[in-house]
A = this chain, B = another copy of it.
């Protein structure tokens, strides 16, 4: 495997940019190719079979571009489709659920862990299973928060409406009794401030994207796959600069607009592609 290849990242849409940002911050020498499946977003309300199909198509697209490893930024795809993705591609595949689960167990002395995520992720109980596999005595309380995605994309993350919605959802978790709360959807870190206000200081917020970025860094080092170029070029990287390539399956202008909302900057290189149907890859 060529250590100077980029790292592939896919997400159902724009939310995975929070994971890209976390990776970019920890791995300034790496290049990234990001695919947002904006033609079929969201995944969080869809079925196992459909999420698997979409995730495999996305993964094959990125593998065909040439990547040294694949980060599945989407929590729903990580929860439902990791085995299918690993069967479909020949590179190392890292999802966000297990790193998030490990970080949650580490940060929760009282062993009461809350998880907020999409409907599909909650129904899969992927976080509960991953946490139980690490510590069988941990108690996991899960809550779907579908409106958080729209609030983040609308740019309403720091508004009274967002606060009211957060109060409504988080009251089901008895947040004051929790040790940690996992932000189990890539959009939720955008609402971090409001969520932190509502749950209070005693609850540690776990950003699965951050936890994943830390584990990817360790993996690259251990596997001797870190980029070999540590020249000035790579030291002065900026988010969304022209060393990172972004692909979307639809509506690039909307993606750029929301990216700017999430990251403060839009991708320099952003291309719309078609990835569906019979393993055929068509660029338009």
Interface, chain A (partner B; CB < 8 A): 38-41, 45-47, 49-50, 119, 146-147, 149-151, 153-154, 156, 159-161, 164-165, 168, 250-251, 254, 276-278
Contact = CB atoms under 8 A, between A and B. Distances in A.
Contacts of A160: 164
Given A147-B150, A276-B277, 13 more contacts: A38-B46, A41-B45, A45-B254, A47-B251, A50-B251, A147-B151, A147-B154, A147-B156, A150-B150, A156-B168, A159-B168, A277-B277, A277-B278
A175 to B, nearest CB: 18
A45 B39 CA distance: 9
A257 B256 CA distance: 34
A40 B46 CA distance: 9
- Pick the 10 closest A-B CB pairs, nearest first: A150-B150, A47-B251, A50-B250, A277-B277, A147-B150, A161-B164, A39-B50, A47-B250, A46-B250, A46-B251
Nearest to A145: B154
Contact of A119 (B38, B254, B277): B254
A276 to B, nearest CB: 7
A184 to B, nearest CB: 18
Contacts of A156: 147, 168
A153 B146 contact: yes
A50 B168 CA distance: 35
16 contacts: A38-B46, A39-B46, A39-B50, A45-B254, A49-B250, A146-B153, A147-B150, A147-B154, A159-B168, A160-B164, A161-B161, A161-B165, A164-B164, A276-B276, A276-B277, A277-B278
